[in-house]
C-alpha cells in the first residue's frame, strides 16, 4: 500500500470512527452488522486495512450517511481556524444530509429574526 492509499484509508477510517462515536455505536456492533470482528473495524478506523465497497455501502446504511460522506473534501483539514470554528465544521461534516438541511434552515430563521 503506497502513502496516498494509506492516507485515503486513514481518512475513511477517521470518518467511520467519528460517525460511529456520534451515534454511540460500538465497534462490535458495526462488526456484527457487516459480518466482521471488532478487531477488523479497529483496523479500518486506523486506516491499516481497506474496507470493501460493499461493506462501506452497508456502513452508510448503519451510520445514516451517504457514500459521499467518506470521500467529501469540502473542508480541507489544514485550514487554520480557531478551535471553536473547527469543532463546528467537524460536527457539520458528521451530520446526515437531512441534519445539515435542518441546521441551515435554523440558521436562516435566526438570521431573519435578527434583521
Q: Are 110 and 88 within one domain? A: yes
Residues 67-91: tens digit of each pLDDT = 888 876 544 454 455 678 777 877 8
**pTM of this prediction?**
0.63
pLDDT for 83 equals 74
Q: Are 67 and 40 within one domain? A: yes
Q: Are 81 and 100 within one domain? A: yes
What is the secondary structure of the chain as a DSSP string? Answer: --HHHHHHHHHHHHHHHHHHHHTT--HHHHHHHHTS-HHHHHHHHHTSS---HHHHHHHHHHHT--GGGGT--SS-TT----HHHHHHHHHHHTS-HHHHHHHHHHHHHHHHHH-
Q: Are 50 and 80 within one domain? A: no
Its domain, for residue 83, covers 74-115
pLDDT for 73 equals 59
Amino acid at each position: 500500500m503506497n502513502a496516498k492509499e494509506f492516507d485515503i484509508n486513514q481518512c475513511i477510517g477517521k470518518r467511520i470512527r467519528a460517525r460511529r462515536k456520534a451515534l454511540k455505536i460500538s465497534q462490535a456492533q458495526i462488526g456484527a452488522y457487516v459480518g466482521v470482528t471488532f478487531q477488523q473495524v479497529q483496523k479500518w478506523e486506523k486506516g491499516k486495512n481497506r474496507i470493501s465497497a460493499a461493506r462501506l455501502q452497508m456502513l452508510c446504511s448503519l451510520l445514516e450517511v451517504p457514500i459521499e460522506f467518506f470521500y467529501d473534501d469540502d473542508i480541507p483539514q489544514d485550514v487554520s481556524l480557531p478551535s471553536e470554528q473547527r469543532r463546528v465544521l467537524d460536527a457539520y461534516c458528521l451530520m446526515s444530509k437531512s441534519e445539515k438541511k435542518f441546521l441551515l434552515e435554523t440558521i436562516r430563521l435566526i438570521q431573519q429574526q435578527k434583521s
